[in-house]
Amino acid sequence: MTKWDVVVVGAGQAGCAAAWDLAAAGQRVLVLSRPAGQGKPCAGGVTAKTLNRYRFSIAPVVREVVSTLWVGRFPAGSQALQAASPFCVMTERAELDAFCRQQAQEQGASFAETRGIQTLRQDGRSVTLTTREGERFQASAVIAADGAHSPVRKLLGECRYGGAVAIEGCVPREQLSWYPGMTLDFAAIKGGYGWLFPKGDHVNVGLYVWRQGIASPGREQLDRYSQQQLGVRPSGVQGYPLGTWLPLARLCQGRILFAGDAAGCTEALLGEGIYGAVLSGQLAAQAILAGQLASYSGWLAGWREEMATVEQLARLFYPLMPLSTRMLQGNLGETLVEGFARGLTLGQCKRRWRGASMVGG
């Protein structure tokens, strides 16, 4: 058995953010993760507020810098919302994760692969984990950053929550007769949207539904959407749930803290999850460094409150289609992209928009 200060389960955005902070503070950190494989299904859009949260620049893995958002179906039904400065960058998720992992390694974090965690036991002072390979690790705290399916949460007998769901695929640029800008199309699917994200050598195309059960975005639907929009069917299609249950989730169980999608930190309206993953990973690390594990939930309370507000927004926004799209194509959308360009969160943009409409009206 090897002993560590902290074991992090999962080497995605939450796990790498936590490992970076812990290692930078001199902790002995081990990140246990599944082999990278094809990479986590993700469109790789990283907003300005997330860029502000990283402890390092992600410039080496940026493929496109975006300051215009197209809302609606291209070309006739869509409207360009132009921000004064970039509000988002496009990355390939496997490249982004590998880069963040390398940054954490440079701070001194260790990484090891496993097919999964078999057992977890904790007493008042430490947590012991056994992997499926039979290896044992002991640490004074564990961060479960193992994604929306969170096997650690299941091992601890925590209940399952229903979140959002999305499916994505890629179309190589050489197969395209036109190269789209970043597009969100709310007519593509009930209770969600279709997206086109330009990535330089290809376009990422996908479908998002804000709550499982409203619609099931499957392979056939994605093929049809991609065919309509780009004239080609995508390859490398993968679907995955998104953790949008932060308002309901327990964030801490003894010496085990949940971060990222495992904690439900993704916002429900558009499914942006990288910001919540980085934020919660960093806060979990800070709680451990401060020796105040139980404070973690309180430190994440602001984000939890915002996620509850954004969920209410999604409840209102999607049933009101197509009116919501028209609103987004106007004042609301402009406030949103401007706010995003300034590094604001959705909740902060909403407050600005309400403020502006009250002044205007």
> Which pairs with CB-CB distance under 8 Å and at least 24 residues apart come from 316-322?
317/269, 318/190, 318/191, 318/192, 318/210, 318/214, 321/186, 321/187, 322/186, 322/187
Residues 151-190 close enough to bind ligand FAD by CB under 6 A: 151, 166, 168
Q: What Å distances lie between residue 230 and 79, 101, 197, 235, CA to CA?
A: 18, 34, 12, 13
Residues 274-303 close enough to bind ligand FAD by CB under 6 A: 274, 277
Q: Choose, by CB under 6 A, the member of 15, 194, 217, 339 that binds ligand FAD.
A: 15
Query: Using an 8 Å Cβ cutoff, are 33 and 148 in contact?
Result: no
Q: Of the two residues 14 and 300, which places its CB atom closer to ligand FAD in the complex?
A: 14
Should residue 117 be labelled a site residue for ligand FAD when binding is judged by CB under 6 A? yes
Q: Choose, by CB under 6 A, the member of 29, 41, 66, 333 that binds ligand FAD.
A: 41
Polymer length of the chain: 361
DSSP alpha helix (H) spans, 121-273: 151-155, 219-230
Should residue 89 be labelled a site residue for ligand FAD when binding is judged by CB under 6 A? no
Should residue 66 be labelled a site residue for ligand FAD when binding is judged by CB under 6 A? no
β-bridge pairing 182-185 and 68-71: parallel
Least distance in Å: CB of 271 to ligand FAD? 5
Should residue 273 be labelled a site residue for ligand FAD when binding is judged by CB under 6 A? yes
Query: Using an 8 Å Cβ cutoff, are 251 and 300 in contact?
Result: yes
Q: Of the two residues 41 and 194, which places its CB atom closer to ligand FAD in the complex?
A: 41
Q: Of the two residues 94 and 293, which places its CB atom closer to ligand FAD in the complex?
A: 94
What's the 3-state SS for 242-263? ECCCCCCCCCEECCEEECHHHH
Query: Using an 8 Å Cβ cutoff, are 57 and 24 in contact?
Result: no
Should residue 260 be labelled a site residue for ligand FAD when binding is judged by CB under 6 A? yes
Should residue 30 be labelled a site residue for ligand FAD when binding is judged by CB under 6 A? no
Should residue 86 be labelled a site residue for ligand FAD when binding is judged by CB under 6 A? no
**Tell me, what DSSP letter sits at residue 211?**
S
3-class SS at 6?
strand
In the shown chain, the binding pattern of residues 224 to 243 toward ligand FAD, with x for contact by CB under 6 A and - for none, equals ----------------x-x-
What six digits make up the tokens of 279?
């934020």
Could you tell me which stretch among 60-68, 271-279, 295-303, 332-340 binds ligand FAD (CB under 6 A)? Answer: 271-279
Least distance in Å: CB of 279 to ligand FAD? 11
Positions touching ligand FAD (CB under 6 A) are 9-15, 32-34, 40-45, 114, 116-117, 145-147, 151, 166, 168, 206, 240, 242, 260-262, 266, 271-274, 277
